[in-house]
Chain A
Amino acid sequence: MSKQIDINDLNIYYGNFLAVEGVNLTVRANSVMSFIGPSGCGKSTVLRCINRMHEVVPGARAEGAVRLDGENIYGPNVDPVLVRRTIGMVFQRPNPFPTMSIYDNVVAGLRLEKTKGDKRNLDEVVESSLRGANLWEEVKDRLKKPGASLSGGQQQRLCIARAIAVEPKVLLMDEPCSALDPISTLAIEDLIRELRERYTIIIVTHNMQQASRVSDMTAFFNLAAVGKPGKLIEVGPTQQIFTNPQEKQTEDYISGRFG
């Protein structure tokens, strides 16, 4: 069901600025990988390359290959729209569509792209996606209310429900908890542990406890100086990265953060 991701020699540019250089990385199917590293080292940039959202920024481009179960998503005839259907994304700030109800938000991806499913079908999708995002019990009586009427944490779970409603194989999350309170954060972390059964997940986080709580593998990115390209320094099992890193930079970063 879920898929493996292999990144080969990925160089990522904004215009002429090389933002990230030479990334090689494998994310196994049904595992959670977290990206950590200082701000500006290119975590979001790499993440956005994995579902071809990077090129949405004017002038942005990427060189190299990102393979989804062996198929290069940067291949010549690949349709980015289809890539994004397969590889869903949750953003740092909750961004439900303001014109739509909770219900419509969840099925937005289906309504806007597939031919209209019959009503019962959509109802089922809404329930299963909201259950999948641990939100069903809280909103089942007010599905027709605007998505913006929910709290920040609920909105973020709504965005997760929206992302999984189109049945992607991979879920990318860019600091999904950084705008949330601790309780909502725990709810989302629980959710990530559940979602691992069905998806390959990559999560960017600034919170190392969070990385160690939810992820199997951790990748540490760093940059030599501002204006220099970010690089992948080290990747390994989360336990190992946090207790016994192989690279000095990783150790400095982690010990710096842990005091």
Chain B
Amino acid sequence: MSVVETQKAGLEGQLSGRRLPRWSTPALAGGALIVGLIVQLTGWTVVGLAPGVIAAVVFLLGQAIASLAIEGRRHSKDRIATTLIYATFVVALTPLLWILITVLVKGLSVFDWTFFTSTMRNVSPRQPGGGILHAFLGTLEQVGIATLVSVPIGLLAAIYLVEFGKGRLKFWISFFVDVMTGVPSIVAGLFIYTALILTGVLQQSGFAAALALCILMIPVVIRSSEEMLKIVPNDLREAALALGVPKWKVILRIVVPTAISGLITGAMLAVARVAGETAPLLLTTFLAQDINLNAFNGSQTSLPTFIWDQISRGTSSSVNRAWGAALALILFVLIIYAAARILAARFAPKSR
């Protein structure tokens, strides 16, 4: 504001320069929108660009030129960069919002009490009704087992890598964690299928599915835990060691508690990541239409495989059920994210 006042008074000092007035941005945006609208209505267009794109280009160029004329090169570049950053933000956010809104609209149409409390038992694909209870319980059980196995293994491996590891062994473990991070999820399923199911060690079951999820989850937990342990300041380790505390207790009582909020977040994000996996589950547990609480015996449906199943049946009521289950899955993952944030904030070191 003071710059504008100085300008008005004609008392420009050496440290202030001419700036575009505040109203210039909305004015230019309005102008660009009008251009876009004209393009839209008249059907006249430049090399086939959509009206929205033309409006954006008009805004970007208009502002850059106005700024160059009045404010100078540096401010002009600053405005171009700012506009581009906001534009990419919108571009990145659009598909996300689009997906959310679509799922919300289509999913809410089947959301009712029975959808959450009943199963697909005795419900034919053409019939409306039925529910996701069996799939939801299956997801809980499979993801729960996967978490119980992966988090301790991942955390211990991360502790090894950060606190103890050196030389060859550390290098190779680190290398294979990187490789495992890149394993496509269907390969994880295929591995469990050929190594454990075809050989007769396990039958198709929720547990086999959970093991496939573990393959995907462990490297993620290791990597995130490793990063979290690394940022614990070395000062704290040394302070504890200098008090005459043995190393294992330093790790257990100082390092891990200091990093705990990040460790929890990392584990929860890994859970959220595998909760939506479909391919490895289809190979390892396949589908069921009713509740099967025994993870060690027989097929078990989960939310992702439920969605896959319903869509492949192709009737309008089954596709609607798939949308409903998709919304339920998104809500489930959202709840995990929220819980991660709350827990992380609760355990974070406090400074007042």
Contact = CB atoms under 8 A, between A and B. Distances in A.
Given A95-B233, A112-B249, A163 B349 contact: no
Given A93-B235, A149-B351, A149-B352, A99 B243 contact: no
B243 A88 contact: yes
Interface residues of B, number: 25
B245 interface: yes
A86 B243 CA distance: 9
A166 B166 CA distance: 32
Interface string A219-234: 0000000000000000
Contacts of A83: 244
Contacts of B351: 98, 146, 148-149
A56 B351 CA distance: 28
Given A146-B350, A148-B351, A97 B239 contact: yes
Nearest to A109: B243
A166 B349 contact: no
A200 to B, nearest CB: 16
Interface string A144-166: 01101100000000010011001
A82 interface: yes
A148 B258 CA distance: 13
Contact of A91 (B166, B238, B244, B246): B238
Nearest to A172: B242
A186 interface: no
Interface residues of A, number: 30
Contacts, number: 82
B235 A148 contact: no
Interface in B227-284: 233, 235-246, 249-250, 253-254, 257-258, 260
A1 interface: no
Nearest to A93: B235
Nearest to B239: A95
A89 B242 contact: yes
Contacts of A43: none
A3 interface: no
A23 interface: no
A88 B244 CA distance: 8
A83 to B, nearest CB: 8
A81 B245 contact: yes
B236 A108 contact: no
Interface in A86-134: 86, 88-89, 91, 93, 95, 97-99, 108-109, 112-113
B236 A98 contact: yes
Contacts of B239: 91, 95, 97, 159, 162
B253 to A, nearest CB: 5
A207 to B, nearest CB: 22
A169 interface: no
A162 B244 CA distance: 12
Given A97-B236, A159-B239, 18 more contacts: A53-B238, A81-B244, A81-B246, A91-B235, A95-B233, A95-B238, A97-B239, A109-B243, A109-B244, A112-B253, A146-B352, A148-B349, A148-B351, A149-B351, A149-B352, A163-B243, A166-B243, A166-B244
27 contacts: A53-B241, A53-B242, A56-B237, A58-B166, A81-B244, A81-B245, A81-B246, A84-B243, A85-B244, A91-B239, A95-B236, A97-B254, A97-B258, A98-B236, A99-B254, A99-B257, A108-B240, A109-B243, A112-B240, A112-B243, A112-B245, A112-B254, A113-B245, A148-B349, A148-B350, A148-B351, A159-B239
